[in-house]
Structure 1
């Protein structure tokens, strides 16, 4: 018995060890020097429990998927100038990786290779032409800038108002940025402009006369873009690899004529990475129930105009644990082809419910919760039910609204009865004819 139990425990341990972890990160580097220049950022990943694997972007053994299974769960590309990835890795495989739920973070620079350009285009963003950079003559760092005003200072007010993506942007300082501009596609409804340039920023070649209209100017200059796919996979693309560097994270922002302040790059890139690796903003449905009011189990089918109670329990991932989700804007739709009922769900501690009356229409319906909020994963739940009409024994015998018709019918029957009685039993009085004797004789 003891041997059998030991064998079972050993088998369980082997199976558990064989299950791939969800924290494996592959970091592709353009040169080995990035290990030192970006050590703070890479160490922050390890401190949060990620298994970080550093490889050259042209490594001959690169692969994201082997034998139909993920080798890594997340991908970071710190290789702006690469034209072709090594091994089996290419833009098509990265796109397949995203389609299957993988998360990707890409950082570029003013010198871009074809691989990074193609990858960004696949995800709804385009980099400006080489060798352009984002320039701002009014907001630049007086210490780190080389004189071209390409090391720009971006205020937190230019961040998207979504703390799940950017963190508590009101608490950290301005962000240092040096690199190329992104141009977002207006046709892509899934993209997010996370960080944009100031109104005085523009994208152009440094030290060159501006003799044509720049490709991006002002708030249309996208510095950091994000995308959440329909399968909830997340992608972040930025034109500045220096934004993640130790130099920028430890820097004191020295704007001309202003007092130096601590740069907010450290907090910003940490919050951005937490979002793209789905450490925050992840929702799931724990349970769904629906039944008639006064009952506890769902029926085989509902009947029109019945009162129904619907409840859903939603959880949010926080600090690696599932906790009840709190919100006041979750809606329920009762849909056949179009919604017949749309109502808000009320509740607390992650449990939301409502009571409503079914429409006076029968057919196949769905309880539908389609919850989309910036920063959160797409929450979608469907419960299909049948709604039948009343059987003949369930209809009301007398309808209050039909009383005038009842009265008219009864009065009509009474009138026919009276008419028939009069017609059958009423007789006219007979007339008595008197004749004289003379007339009688004449008649004889």
Structure 2
């Protein structure tokens, strides 16, 4: 069934006026060879995604028809740009250099990563093809539309084990290459300092109120009363927001000699991936990672802790240790294949890194976990969570309670709640 207007984000229903024939001609001339005689014939613009698929931009799909060297051609492309409608979304995103970061990732960093993989006989693809990019007069990136290639965002379900493992395999290879570069060329990633946790997140109501709502939920929920004293003690001694900022900025502020640092994706969740399945058999074939707007250097744990709540569902989350072992195996193997001559990473040290950043994980458990399933289903928007207090409170429901009753005892046994 085709999406209706109400299924799309409001700021993507009307494309900017500058998405015109002159713009599309420029894009085509940039990505086609011998484009001097290129003639644009027609173009059609529509929203590229539905609600819940993304947030930190606006995106449009354009189907463009043109003539080149006497042949009739067409191309489907995705235009990603900054919000133009006044409001919270535009005001929040203009604080970040997200397009500068992402353009650098697509044009400098990821091509180097892919070349390093090709040099060891690995054909892993880390990016969709970029057709055009600019920072002025508008910040934008134009991608080849990979939906015709068989890639699609998952809707109506979460990723299964095979899909999750493929995603972990890609990020493990990415992390391994970046870890080697950080050791050998410590200034290569100098501009990749800022994550969304690097700034003063205390000004963000989502984080500011999240822990308060979590504690209010614990106090009113009989099933959680036995854990209340433990969390009250924890909150008296640890500021989870400060702990998260310290975790994400550790490499730039106070790096540890024996910690594992990598270039993190920065927003490593299911909606920032597209999955490819064989159209005839339905068999899974590939996953494409997307949206590198918050890529940053930091602890190896950052993407992985985030993924526990933003990639795994309630069925796979109890198997986090197993899935991260799979990730670590590929991380270590990749380092060996690309000729890393530093100390070989160990699983013990990797687990110690995860434990050391446990307060970041607890923050995400109290804020991201109650929100994410509902956001993915389109039941919540970012604006609703930040402006509608009643809506935000509804995130803390039985679905969330069932998750907590599995997660909290595990944290208790692992010592995550000890001070």
Fold conserved between structures, TM > 0.5:
no
- The answer to which structure has the higher helix fraction is 2
Give the structure, 1 or 2, with the largest relative contact order (CA under 8 Å, sep 6 or more): 2
